[in-house]
Structure 1
Amino acid sequence: MRPLLFAIALAAALPCARAGVTENLATSAIAMSLGNAVTADPPGIESIHFNPAGLARLKGFNHVDTAFVASIRNPNEFHSAPDIDIGGFKDDPINGKHSGPVRQAIALPFVGVPKARLPGVAVPGLGVAWNAPDSRWTFGTMVYLSQAMSMDRTKDPDDPARFDGRLVQLQRLVYLSPAAGYKISDTLRVGISVPIAYSNFAINTDYRAPNKLLGTVGQLQKGLCPDGNGTILDTLTFGLCGGGPDGMVDPFKRAANIDFDLHASFDPTVNIGVLWEPRPWLALGAVYQGGTRTAYSGNYSFHTDPMLRAFTRGLNSSLLGPVVGAVTGLPPDIPEYQTGNMMASIPFPWRVQAGVKIKPLPFLQLNADVSYADWAQWKEITFRFDRSIKMLELARLFGYADSTKATFQMGFRSVVNFGFGAQLFVTPKLTLRAGFEPRKSSIPGDKMSLLAPLPDTRLHSLGLRYRFDNGSELNLAASYLTGKYNIPARSDCNLNCDGFFNVIYNPYAATDVAGKLVVRYAGLSFTRPF
């Protein structure tokens, strides 16, 4: 039990470096080296995740230790459109800038995301399985990360990408996965597992609102009070300059910082698999991995910068400003900090995967899989707060009536993906592997954001297996995933539209955003019988 608890703690503390919407990237060294095309050839104890029916192929008592290392890079470039005009403001300071280094965050169960940042991470895990002599049943459990994404841009405080996620962390750690495989016949096996996960969801982002109405207000201020100081006339009317120099509105300035940290301690799903091996050279497999609607709870913090606080204070200190505020629903005052409790219901999508294994030659095996994940459930994500958020009350003017919640339009879609793998049996002890996955993104091009910058990608993998005389097995794998995106100005209203009502959320209004995603990772597993 001590090694098991130790692995659980480390796996939670050092999550895999993955960005965007990802599945199966670092669950098994065997699977990653074969392009995750292993449904018809499940990888031993790791079958608990990929196809629990594969457990029924094991004999005796087995143990597997796994480890993965990974790093991610996500450079971005920002270029303003030639006709950019945000209510009269035309010089965005991020124009021509590049985003800085990306690091990986750490999510600890019951703690959240501490401040330590790493250029890469290591992910350990383990599993056990046992089969009694002459029994058709095999039982097992495993600790692993079924899914994660991690984007941390806090190293550079002026990183232009900070306005769409300084920190984004989504982690699903399976800490217990009771599983059973049953051998119906020599050719047919079935299995089931119940992964029980600790889930963590955290976002920290700087906020700005390059909106035309705010720009127009800023230009009016420049005309009425160029130095930022109000006048008697201003005080007797609407108080546009009553906030002093701090209250001068600039749509390109940071307006606030938002921090969410949520978790769910007990989040079970179910995996059901079948494996049919009618011939030594042919096998077919299928698995259903159930989803859930995870109920998260946690805390929030809104830190509002002086610009909005001073502007609101000046507006309400004038003669007619409070009338305007009452009509438009603006708050009478905005505190610098507002904290409290929050909750969210975030889907973890179900997915199905099917595959075939053929062995056309004694020394060659080919695998192919097809999968479907129901990411269309991520149309939007709503966060609910325990009270009205004063800063969000400013959005009432744009039609956002409920300031006790914030909704992010995600617009994800469900897609079909394929995976391919090959094994070359060089000797009875040595096997070489290669895998390829052309991964179609679940995020449409007009819904992309830097919160989840995952375009269509290509995953290339290499690996090997070495069998020892005592029956132990060492598996090594290395993978490289890459993809590019180029989002023209005004083409993506999750990122760079500049319409009057595009407030939540277009931080790069009228700006071209181009970038790429590069993930490098390697893994190993060591399996031994007892």
Structure 2
Amino acid sequence: MNSSSIAVPRRLAGLLAGGLALSAALPAQAGVTDNLATSATAMAMGNAVTADPPGIESIHFNPAGLARLKGTHNIDTVFIASIRNPNKFVTAPDIDIGGFKDDPINGTSSGPVRQAVAIPFLGVPKARLPGVMVPGLGFSYNAPGSKWTFGTLAYLSQAMSVDRTKDPNDPARFDGRLVHLQRLNYLSPTAAYQVSDTLRIGLAVPIAYANFAINTDFRAPNKLLGTVGQLQRALCPDGNGTVIDTLTFGLCGGGPEAMVDPFKRAANIDFDMHTSFDPTFNIGFLWEPKKWFAFGMVYQGGSDTAFRGRYTVHADPMLRGFVHGLNSSLLGPIVGAITGMPVDIPEYQSGNMSARIPFPWRVQAGVKLMATDYVQLNADVSYADWNKWSQLTFEFDQSVKLLEMARLFGYANSRQATFKMGFKSVLNYSFGTQINVTKKLSLRAGYEPRKSSIPGNQMSLLAPLPDTKLKSLGLRYKFDDGGEVNLTGSYMKGSYNIPARSDCNLNCDDFFNLIYNPYAATTVSGSLIVRYFGASYSRPY
């Protein structure tokens, strides 16, 4: 009994530290979140528009394209998107978490998913919707006879929002009740220059408001923790401690609520961070030597984004009672002092937090070919430097009591949580076709197979981002006054099946696992589905 009493705090500490860091990590940016609500024209072409950048929206895709606009123009856009993430959980037939073999999530499926929108400088409101609507606008100006064109564009360059709070018992809640990422470029001053009849260059400086929010329930299905839970059941079936227990390490001193169950919720963790001013830059060139051929390239610079916000850790009675029992016994406080454990864990602990999270740079190049006067073919290739996400570190304004329990496992600083991500940089391809039916009407189709930057053995439901395929259809209609309407509808889907014990960010059950595995010995299968509609109206004036 004595050795188990000492081992529990150590093991529980490692699990909590790994879980807290994982909950903070949110690898939701990885690859498939880009360009989902940026341009109706680009989406209809599978985002393969580097060699044929779309008007004012060239500011994002290739700012050199802005130099093709003469006079004064503006654009108004609206985007509607919905994200669905159904999951199914099936435990392995031989599941044994220290004697606990009946995980209540076995055979269950995650429920409805909603979306949220972060309002700049206000954060994420409480309202949740089955989809979100995002407006945008932009302007450009070219003086008569000048080779310079200037402009700005407000647009959403990245977005990911999954909210599972509608069902309080959703089995996916242990790996993200709410996951929200948003990068809104609210100002993007741009200058483009026409070097010659065939060559243009451009530079844009997007300035972003970025939001990063997570709320997740936490549990720790670990074999050692389960063994201690079974030991508690044997020593004190009713959950009440004994005199012997009080005179030793207080294994049962926390009462019935402190009975350890590895399948039970242990805590809830809530983070909400943002940055109000995060500039990057886009630099591009566009070469159009022939009417039937064009080549374009853009470099989108990254940044070391500094996030600041608030955190709240809500510890359930199981954890608070266990620590209370330990410190109410005769020898427990000695163990706590030696290991640096907290004297108690408050029900709620809140404060300020910060993190520097790299926004990776990316480069994209493409060609445009006019197969005939009526058929245009576009193809692009892109590369993003997701290797920067090797690890992420989060700083807290005070010692987090849960992290104080982890000092024996390399977490010496309880004001800090570090998580190793292991992301990889990937190449992606995209393709688009435009058919000019008449001088006014064009039809478009796009295809974009998106590779995820998250290795298959490191995926989690905080970032359910597998390889996906995006398919789009759209049209453009030109008016006699020079204005035009662009419409598109897109569908993106990717599926995953993560066998039990194959992913130690999700479902491993090794005895000494220190990384958060809320679905130990459980196969998790699911899909990510994004439905998108976009419309824009641009005109000279």
Q: TM-score, normalised by structure 1?
A: 0.95
Alignment equivalent of 2:362, drawn from 351, 356, 364: 351
- Partner residue of 1:384? 395
Alignment equivalent of 2:340, drawn from 318, 321, 329: 329
Alignment equivalent of 2:496, drawn from 478, 485, 490: 485
- Partner residue of 2:328? 317
Are 1:263 and 2:263 an aligned pair? no
Structure 1 residues 48-67: aligned runs within 5 Å:
48-67=59-78
d(CA) in 2 for partners of 1:457 and 1:172? 21
Are the counterparts in 2 of residues 72 and 103 from structure 1 also a CA contact under 8 Å?
A: yes
Helix, strand or coil: the match of 2:407? Answer: helix
1:269-322 C-alpha deviation (Å, 9 max, x unpaired): 000000000000000000000000101111110100000001110111111111
1:20/1:227 CA distance change after superposition, 3 Å? farther
- Partner residue of 2:99? 88
- Partner residue of 2:440? 429
- Partner residue of 2:216? 205
Structure 1 residues 263-412: aligned runs within 5 Å:
263-412=274-423
Cα distance, 1:397 vs. partner?
A: 4.5
Cα distance, 1:327 vs. partner?
A: 2.9
1:73/1:201 CA distance change after superposition, 3 Å? same
d(CA) in 2 for partners of 1:519 and 1:34? 17
Report % sequence identity.
Answer: 75
d(CA) in 1 for partners of 2:385 and 2:129? 32
Deviates more, 1:203-212 or 1:430-439: 203-212
Cα distance, 1:489 vs. partner?
A: 1.0
1:57/1:150 CA distance change after superposition, 3 Å? same
- Partner residue of 1:527? 538
Are the counterparts in 1 of residues 30 and 386 from structure 2 also a CA contact under 8 Å?
A: no
- Partner residue of 1:455? 466
d(CA) in 1 for partners of 2:109 and 2:514? 24
d(CA) in 2 for partners of 1:113 and 1:406? 23
Cα distance, 1:501 vs. partner?
A: 3.5
Deviates more, 1:97-106 or 1:390-399: 390-399
Deviates more, 1:114-123 or 1:397-406: 397-406
- Partner residue of 1:465? 476
d(CA) in 2 for partners of 1:339 and 1:88? 35
Task: Give the counterpart letter for 1:414 in structure 2.
Answer: S
Task: Give the counterpart letter for 1:212 in structure 2.
Answer: K
Alignment equivalent of 2:150, drawn from 135, 139, 142: 139
Deviates more, 1:399-408 or 1:293-302: 399-408
Deviates more, 1:395-404 or 1:247-256: 395-404
Are 1:154 and 2:165 an aligned pair? yes
Alignment equivalent of 1:68, drawn from 76, 79, 86: 79
d(CA) in 2 for partners of 1:161 and 1:335? 26
- Partner residue of 1:110? 121
Cα distance, 1:25 vs. partner?
A: 1.8
1:90-117 C-alpha deviation (Å, 9 max, x unpaired): 1111111100111111212222112111
d(CA) in 1 for partners of 2:386 and 2:30? 15
Cα distance, 1:161 vs. partner?
A: 0.5
Alignment equivalent of 1:244, drawn from 237, 255, 272: 255
Cα distance, 1:425 vs. partner?
A: 0.4
- Partner residue of 2:513? 502
Helix, strand or coil: the match of 2:405? Answer: helix
d(CA) in 1 for partners of 2:277 and 2:222? 41
Helix, strand or coil: the match of 2:458? Answer: coil
Helix, strand or coil: the match of 1:106? Answer: coil
d(CA) in 2 for partners of 1:339 and 1:25? 34
Task: Give the counterpart letter for 1:33 in structure 2.
Answer: A
d(CA) in 2 for partners of 1:71 and 1:360? 35
d(CA) in 1 for partners of 2:405 and 2:227? 16
Are 1:78 and 2:86 an aligned pair? no
Task: Give the counterpart letter for 2:502 in structure 1.
Answer: S
Helix, strand or coil: the match of 1:170? Answer: strand
Q: State how many pairs are aligned.
A: 514
Task: Give the counterpart letter for 2:479 in structure 1.
Answer: F
Helix, strand or coil: the match of 1:361? Answer: coil
d(CA) in 2 for partners of 1:216 and 1:398? 20
Q: TM-score, normalised by structure 2?
A: 0.93
1:221/1:399 CA distance change after superposition, 3 Å? farther
Helix, strand or coil: the match of 2:173? Answer: helix
Alignment equivalent of 1:223, drawn from 227, 230, 234: 234
1:395/1:83 CA distance change after superposition, 3 Å? farther
- Partner residue of 2:449? 438
Cα distance, 1:400 vs. partner?
A: 2.9
d(CA) in 1 for partners of 2:86 and 2:98? 29
